[in-house]
Chain A
Amino acid sequence: ILNVEQSPQSLHVQEGDSTNFTCSFPSSNFYALHWYRWETAKSPEALFVMTLNGDEKKKGRISATLNTKEGYSYLYIKGSQPEDSATYLCAFDRYKLTFGKGTLLTVNP
C-alpha cells in the first residue's frame, strides 16, 4: 500500500488569507501527482496533474508545485474566498491512483 500523506488535516482561514497545504508521496517510481477539489455533496474535480520535477501549475488563484526527488507537492491558494471551502485531495498516480485523506479548508467570511 502506497503512503500518501496530506497535511494539515483541516484548516480554518479568514477571507483574503493565503494558505497552502502539503502532499507527501513515495519518491521512487514516480509517474504523476494529481490535485482534486471536493465540495460537500459533490464529486471530486481535477485541479492539476503534474508529471515533471519542478512543475508548477496555476489556475486562477490556485497554484501547485512539485518536487519528485523529495516526494512532496504544495498547493497554494491566494486570497482565499468562502467558495474555496472544500476538501483538497492529492493522488499519487502509478497507473492506479492512491489518494491522500485530504485537507479540509474552511474559509470564513
Chain B
Amino acid sequence: DAGITQSPRYKITETGRQVTLMCHQTWSHSYMFWYRQDLGHGLRLIYYSAAADITDKGEVPDGYVVSRSKTENFPLTLESATRSQTSVYFCASMMQGGEKLFFGSGTQLSVL
C-alpha cells in the first residue's frame, strides 16, 4: 500500500532553474493539493486539483505551475526558481471534501 509519495525528498537548485516536484497517489483520490511550509506561515496552499484536468490557484500560486493529466499524478513546477521558494513542499490528497487529507513525506527544496 504505497499511498502518496513525493519525489525527490531533497533538492538543491540554483536561481533561475526550472524544478519539478513529483507527487503520486495510489488511492484514486479526486482531490490533490500542494502546500508549502514556512516558518511563521504554517501550511499555505499553492494549487489544488478537484479531478484530472481541473486545477485552481490557492493562496500563493505565483511562480508555480501544475498539471494533472492523470488522476494519480500532480506535479508542481517552479518555472524559474527564486530564493524565496526555498521551503518544504507537501503534497496531499483526499477522496472528496469532508474526508481526511493524507500527506506525502514532503520535499525539502533549497534554492541557492
Instruction: Show the binding face of A for B, using Cβ within 8 Å.
Output: 1, 31-32, 34, 36, 43-46, 49, 51, 89, 91, 93-102
Q: Which residue of A43, A51, A95 contacts B50 across the interface (Cβ within 8 Å)?
A: A95
Q: Which residue of A46, A95, A101 contacts B97 across the interface (Cβ within 8 Å)?
A: A95
Q: Are B56 and A31 in contact (CB under 8 A)?
A: no
Q: Are B90 and A43 in contact (CB under 8 A)?
A: yes
Q: Are A34 and B58 in contact (CB under 8 A)?
A: no
Q: Among residues 3 to 45 in chain B, which have CB atoms less than 8 Å away from a CB atom of chain A?
A: 31, 33, 35, 40-45
Q: How far is the CA of A73 from the CA of B103 in the complex (A)?
A: 22
Q: Are B101 and A97 in contact (CB under 8 A)?
A: yes
Cβ of B94 to closest chain A Cβ, rounded Å: 8
Quick one: closest B residue to A100, CB to CB? B42
Q: How far is the CA of A95 from the CA of B104 in the complex (A)?
A: 19
Cβ of A34 to closest chain B Cβ, rounded Å: 7
Q: Are A99 and B104 in contact (CB under 8 A)?
A: no
Cβ of B39 to closest chain A Cβ, rounded Å: 10
Residues from chain A with Cβ under 8 Å of B40 in the complex: 101
Quick one: closest B residue to A47, CB to CB? B100
Q: Are B90 and A99 in contact (CB under 8 A)?
A: no
Q: Which residue of A36, A49, A89 contacts B98 across the interface (Cβ within 8 Å)?
A: A49
Q: Are B101 and A34 in contact (CB under 8 A)?
A: yes
Q: List 24 A-B contacts (CB under 8 A).
A: A1-B59, A32-B97, A34-B100, A34-B101, A43-B90, A43-B103, A43-B104, A43-B106, A44-B43, A44-B90, A44-B101, A45-B103, A51-B98, A89-B43, A95-B31, A96-B33, A96-B48, A96-B56, A96-B58, A98-B59, A99-B43, A99-B44, A99-B45, A102-B42
Asked whether B102 is an interface residue with its Cβ less than 8 Å from the other chain, the reply is yes
Known: A96-B45, A98-B45. 16 other contacts (CB 8 A): A1-B59, A43-B103, A44-B90, A44-B103, A46-B101, A46-B102, A49-B98, A51-B98, A89-B43, A94-B97, A96-B56, A97-B33, A97-B45, A99-B44, A100-B42, A102-B42
